[in-house]
Structure 1
Amino acid sequence: MNDFIAARSQMALSLGFHIVFSCIGMVMPFFMAVSHFIWLRTGNVMYKNVTRAWSKGVAIFFATGAVSGTVLSFELGLLWPEFMKHAGPIFGMPFSLEGTAFFIEAIALGFYLYGWDRFNKWFHWGTGVLVGVSGLVSGILVVAANAWMNSPAGFDYINGQYLNIHPIQAMFNDAWFSQALHMCIAAFAATGFAVAGVHALMILRGSHVQFHGKAFRIAAVFACVAALLQPLSGDISAKDVGRRQPAKLAAMEAHFKTEKRAPLIIGGIPDEKNKTVHFAIEIPGMLSFMAHDDFNAEVTGLDQIKPEDHPPVAVTHYAFQVMVGLGMLMLAISLLYFIAVWKKKQWLQKQWLLKLFVLATPAGFLAVEAGWTVTEVGRQPWIINGIMRTADAVTPMPGIVYSFYLFTAVYLSLAVIVTFMLYRQIRMVGKLYDLPAMPVPSSH
């Protein structure tokens, strides 16, 4: 492994871990606020117990997210100094605003965690809402900075110089809305299914069914609504990528030949040497429609892109297929859940529905990881699309490979510690709140 690959791998590892913590940090406070609101309105102490249990999880993920996010910010400067030299003054505004949002989130979380029975009850609830809002804004701002790398704006690039810088235009670039929308909905779906899956598992085990049942319903509603909305945001993103980054779209679909009425490829094994895809299912004209709202529109293939500018096709295509496949799985479960809520209420008491949520526990986060792989790998070989190559931005400092090994060990250790803390928190729910055990739902 050379230093360039090591630097890319370290950045990918750091982002891969941080994105899980950040998604949960963005979304869990809203679950917590809804449960808290229901308790305030109904006086049902079970919702208070759910709220307090979730608030401990929010605190754990806030701490780990803060640490991993700080590491990422340092890595941008240490691993990619040439990139930050030129890009920092252009897209630095969303990062500085993100820092402000982070501080607001930290203060609000402190008020919320230590404000029980000390503040006015609605003010206390409002601090919890503020945690969620500021976390969501923080995530949107970071995504806006990443979107700038895919759609550079707010400057003139003349003779290798970055001139006439406009930070506001850079922040609100052509890609920020579609990426932010897709990422936020993905965060709600991923976190919702993960949380609902954990509570569904505890219900199946007969552990404090009333407590976990109420928590499951809140998380499941968030998850299923997000899963139903995600294909719409995906369509917006696909059209945006098709317009701005034809090479990325071609790699996502393993679309080697420019043609009209281009087929949508499902599955398959890309053969980059022979410019074909083996064992794929093709839907004629569908890619043209998805990219341009016209079944007969021409879609640019990799044959129109210079070979040195081709993204890694296989990785991008497989990641895209994984993301879409898992999205369809969550969509199907969501439809079943809402059918159960509206028409087949007896299904809500069946074990098979809970088992589906348990099965889907990791699905959302696997889809998020796959989606970010598409975003980052599909932009290669550019770190600033069409402006600066990733190889030109990497640090000349030797020995990056050892840094990669060290960070891998640190992040794996962090994952084990967080998993243990969450497992311990879930196991202690009954002891903390003196909850009675309840019957398990029917398996029939």
Structure 2
Amino acid sequence: MDDFLAARSQMALSLGFHIIFSCIGMVMPFFMAVAHYYWLRTQDVTYKNVTRAWSKGVAIFFATGAVSGTVLSFELGLLWPKFMEHAGPIFGMPFSLEGTAFFIEAIALGFFLYGWDRFNPWFHWFTGVVVGVSGLASGILVVAANAWMNSPAGFDYVNGQYLNIDPIAAMFNDAWLSQALHMTLAAFAATGFAVAGVHALMLRRGRNLAFHTRAFRIAAAFGAVAALLQPLSGDFSAKDVARRQPAKLAAMEAHFHTEKSASLVLGGLPNEDKQRVDYALKIPGMLSFLAHGNFEQEVTGLDRIAPENRPPVVVPHIAFQLMVGLGTLMMGIAAVYFLALWRKKQWLTSRWLLGLFVAATPAGFIAVEAGWTVTEVGRQPWIINGVMRTADAVTPMPGIAYSFYLFTAVYLSLSLVVIFLLYRQIRMVPELYDVPAGTPEPEPAHA
């Protein structure tokens, strides 16, 4: 493995690991706050138990996310020094604000974890809300920095010099709104389905029914709403990418030839040598409509992109298909869940509906990873779109491959530790949070 590939692989590994904890850190505090609110309003102690159990999960993911996020900050400087030399002064503002949001989140989480029976109950609840809001702000600010890489703004590039820097314009670049909206909904959908899936599994096993029923319904509601809204943000993002990054859209869709009334490709395996997609289903005119709102509009293909500026096709296309497919699956489950809430109450305790959520537990996070793969690989060969190539930004320091192997081992070890801690937390729920006498138990799941 050469140093350039090792640097890219290490960054991909770090981002892929960190993004899971970022999503959970953005979303879980809101689940926690909702359960806490129900406890304060109803005095149903089961909601208090759910809140305390989730708060421990939030603490685990916050600590792990802080470590992996710190590593990423160092990697930007160590692996991509040319990039940071020029880009740092331009998009440093969202990173600085993200640091502020992170400190607020840490302080608020400390207040929440140690504030039980010490603060006014509603002030205590408010600290939990602050954890969620600051975590969400932190995630959006990081996405703004990534959006700048896709849509550079806030400077003039003259003779290799970055002049007239405007950090505000850089932060609120053309891509930030669509990416922030899409990523936020993805985080809520992924985390909602993952948490709901864990509690659905416990319900299918007949474990602590009151506890897991309340937890499942809160998480499922968040995840289902986000899954139903996600196609709207996806359409917004696709039209934005078609306007700003036609090469990325062409790679995502494996669209080799510029044409009017372009077909939407479903599935298939791109053949870059022969400039075609094998084994695909094509819907005539649909790509033109999705990209431009017109079935007849011309869609730029890779044939209009200089060969040295073309992104890879196979990886972005497969990742995009995977993201859309899993998003559609989650949207379907969400529709069934809301139908159950509206007209088919008996479905809510059925084993088959709970089984759907169990099966979809990893779907959201796989879709998130696939989406980030599309974003990053689809931008290649640029680290700053149209301005700086990734190969020109990498460190000249040798031996990066050994660093990649080391970090791979560290992240795998950290993953095992997190899995163990979460498994122990889930298994200990019945012992730590017993349902008080007199609390009605929901019906067990049935076929």
TM tier, shorter chain? over 0.9
Whichever residue aligns with residue 441 of structure 1, its letter is P
| Corresponding residue number in structure 2 for 1:21 | 21
Question: Residue 265 of structure 2: SS of its match in structure 1?
Answer: strand
> Are 2:89 and 1:86 equivalent residues in the alignment?
no
| Corresponding residue number in structure 1 for 2:326 | 326
What's the CA shift string for 1:218-269, capped at 9, x where partnerless?
0000000000000000000000000000000000000000000000000001
Whichever residue aligns with residue 139 of structure 1, its letter is G
Q: Could you tell me whether the CA contact under 8 Å between 2:208 and 2:430 is conserved in 1? A: yes
| Corresponding residue number in structure 2 for 1:394 | 394
Q: Distance in 1 between matches of 2:441 and 2:408?
A: 42
| Corresponding residue number in structure 2 for 1:290 | 290
| Corresponding residue number in structure 1 for 2:175 | 175
Q: Could you tell me whether the CA contact under 8 Å between 2:213 and 2:442 is conserved in 1? A: no
| Corresponding residue number in structure 1 for 2:119 | 119
Question: Residue 199 of structure 2: SS of its match in structure 1?
Answer: helix
**TM-score w.r.t. structure 1 length?**
0.99
How far 1:349 moved relative to its partner?
1.7
| Corresponding residue number in structure 1 for 2:421 | 421
Equivalent residues, number: 444
Q: Could you tell me whether the CA contact under 8 Å between 2:206 and 2:445 is conserved in 1? A: no
| Corresponding residue number in structure 1 for 2:35 | 35
Map residues 140-151 of structure 1 onto 2, 5 A cutoff.
140-151=140-151
> Are 2:71 and 1:71 equivalent residues in the alignment?
yes
| Corresponding residue number in structure 1 for 2:129 | 129
| Corresponding residue number in structure 2 for 1:261 | 261
Q: Distance in 1 between matches of 2:312 and 2:376?
A: 11
Question: Residue 267 of structure 2: SS of its match in structure 1?
Answer: strand
| Corresponding residue number in structure 1 for 2:314 | 314
Q: Could you tell me whether the CA contact under 8 Å between 1:140 and 1:184 is conserved in 2? A: yes
How far 1:440 moved relative to its partner?
6.6
| Corresponding residue number in structure 2 for 1:211 | 211
* Consecutive unaligned residues in structure 2, runs of 5 or more: none
Q: Could you tell me whether the CA contact under 8 Å between 2:204 and 2:445 is conserved in 1? A: no
> Are 2:407 and 1:404 equivalent residues in the alignment?
no
Q: Distance in 2 between matches of 1:172 and 1:197?
A: 36
Q: Could you tell me whether the CA contact under 8 Å between 2:210 and 2:442 is conserved in 1? A: no
Q: Could you tell me whether the CA contact under 8 Å between 1:207 and 1:438 is conserved in 2? A: no
How far 1:438 moved relative to its partner?
5.9
How far 1:439 moved relative to its partner?
7.6
| Corresponding residue number in structure 1 for 2:59 | 59
What's the CA shift string for 1:332-368, capped at 9, x where partnerless?
0000000000011111121000000000000000000
Whichever residue aligns with residue 204 of structure 1, its letter is R
How far 1:443 moved relative to its partner?
3.3
Q: Could you tell me whether the CA contact under 8 Å between 1:205 and 1:440 is conserved in 2? A: no
* Consecutive unaligned residues in structure 1, runs of 5 or more: none
Q: Distance in 1 between matches of 2:167 and 2:97?
A: 12
Map residues 151-162 of structure 1 onto 2, 5 A cutoff.
151-162=151-162
| Corresponding residue number in structure 2 for 1:8 | 8
Instruction: Quickly say closer, same or farther: Cα 1:127–1:439, change in 2 above 3 A.
Output: closer
What's the CA shift string for 1:408-434, capped at 9, x where partnerless?
000000000000000000101111122
- Considering only aligned residues, what root-mean-square deviation do their CA atoms show, in Å? 1.0
**TM-score w.r.t. structure 2 length?**
0.98
How far 1:45 moved relative to its partner?
0.3
Q: Distance in 2 between matches of 1:60 and 1:298?
A: 49
Whichever residue aligns with residue 302 of structure 1, its letter is L
Q: Distance in 2 between matches of 1:441 and 1:101?
A: 42
| Corresponding residue number in structure 1 for 2:227 | 227
